[in-house]
Amino acid sequence: MTVVITDKFIKGARKLAGTIDSSGIINGTVDNFGLSSASGLPTDTPVEITVDRVDSNGNLTPDKEEVIKGIVNGNRIVDAVRGTEGTAQSHQPGAVWEVRLTAHQWEEMVDGIQEEHNPDGSHKKGMTVEEPVMINWDGWSSFPKNSGVDLVFTASDANTVSVAGYDLTGVIQKGDKIKLTNDGTVKYYYVSTTPAFSTDTTFDVSGEVDLVAGAITLPYFSKIDNPQGFKKGELWYISSAYMSGSQNINDNSATKVAINTKSNDPNNNFDTSNYRYVAPITGKYYFNFMCAVTSGTGKLIDVLTYIRKNGSIIANGGGFAIIATGTYSGKPATGLFLSLNKGDYIELFALGNTNDGSQATVVEGRFESFFVSV
């Protein structure tokens, strides 16, 4: 590591003394001067030498005494800070210098220690934290503490957690699970963004219940697959539903498919009244759709499906032409990944073109959803 004059930790040398070289120190501002020999002086930190405390005969010379901080470069002192104690002044060739423990050296050391420590010796916030501890059988871990002091968690808004003055980027990551108490309620979340630290650690969360801006107490985190009380998305946010009968649709008119019966929906996310899946949390999802359309008595020329998010088309499903008369069926199927915000809804629409104004009939419709990740 390069030594710089602002470094606060200064090494000494026991009973070391010498003299200024034949050029002397010509005034009180010179910051580069020579020693007869620098042998024994540390080179991996700055040094402090006391010049002219005594003369060559050992007599005290208090009016001439000066403490100089500098960096050893060969037999020279460079980047010198003059008069850290005593008066910055000129010194004659042959002036005696000594390595002594000075008040300034102590002050520098204390200042350096207090960069990361309080006066009582405890670590400052954001510095050293204790290792987290696993909480028995339930899979939840307590967050680190700073020398026994709990971290301060706050909900900044409905989705953002802030941890005052501490860097937790090495503790939690995107995809981890969070359990906390906010607004008097125990709530569960995925960590949905990569935690960042500047003055505080901040990260977003994704869960069924929004945070309420204000205090957070009893925070825990987990890196295991399925900690106690947490709704694992892959198990809870899946659904499977289908049409229980048939549905007539007008010629060449996109119509929402009336998927009205659930075969699997553990978290009740599929709405059979409005024939839609509603995202319970913000994240990434995968969907499968299928419907079968018949032409009735006419000919079925086109069969198309449309996927709508919040009422707007975001994807077209299978489509093909059947140029014939009589009763024919088309079964377009669609699969796609979608990033959804909590509360977004997904619907399946079908279109049958008989080209003669007669109705087509949806005789089969199926819907499947899968949670992938935050």
CB 324 within 8 A of CB 343: no
173 burial level (CB within 10 Å; 0-12, 13-18, 19+)? middle
CB 140 within 8 A of CB 220: yes
Cα separation values, 96 from 21, 33, 53, 212, 286, Å: 10, 14, 8, 70, 81
The reported pLDDT for the residue numbered 323 is 47
The reported pLDDT for the residue numbered 99 is 95
Coil, strand, or helix at residue 110?
helix
Structure-block tokens of residue 316:
């077209």
d(CA 180, CA 185): 8
Nearest in space to 255 (alpha carbons), one of 361, 357, 358: 361
The reported pLDDT for the residue numbered 124 is 65
CB 33 within 8 A of CB 80: yes
Q: What is the DSSP string of 212-246?
A: -SEEEEEEEEE-SSS-TT---HHHHS-EEEE-SS-
Which strands make up the sheet holding 33-34, listed edge to edge? Answer: 17-19, 96-98, 47-51, 66-73, 76-86, 33-34
Angle at 240 between CA 235 and CA 241, to 5 degrees: 155
The reported pLDDT for the residue numbered 288 is 92
Q: Model confidence over 182-210: pLDDT tens digits? A: 999 999 999 999 999 999 999 999 999 99
Please give the mean pLDDT across all residues of the chain: 90
Report the percentage of the chain scoring pLDDT > 90.
Answer: 70
The reported pLDDT for the residue numbered 329 is 57
CB 256 within 8 A of CB 362: no
| CA-CA-CA-CA dihedral for 138, 144, 145, 147, to nearest 10 | 120
Give the pairing of strands 185-191 and 196-197: unpaired
d(CA 27, CA 89): 5
List phi, psi (to 5°) of 112: -65, -40
d(CA 225, CA 241): 27
The reported pLDDT for the residue numbered 326 is 47
Q: Model confidence over 314-349: pLDDT tens digits? A: 988 665 545 454 455 556 667 899 999 999 999 999
d(CA 277, CA 287): 10
pLDDT digit string (tens) for the chain, length 374 residues: 689 999 999 999 988 999 999 999 999 999 999 999 999 999 999 999 999 999 999 999 999 999 999 999 999 999 999 999 999 999 999 999 999 999 989 998 888 888 777 887 776 655 444 555 667 789 999 998 876 789 999 999 999 999 999 999 999 999 999 999 999 999 999 999 999 999 999 999 999 999 999 999 999 999 998 999 999 999 999 999 999 999 999 988 999 999 999 999 999 999 999 999 999 999 999 999 988 888 766 667 778 888 999 999 998 866 554 545 445 555 666 789 999 999 999 999 988 887 788 888 888 899 999 999 99
Coil, strand, or helix at residue 210?
coil
Q: Model confidence over 151-194: pLDDT tens digits? A: 999 999 999 999 999 999 999 999 999 999 999 999 999 999 99
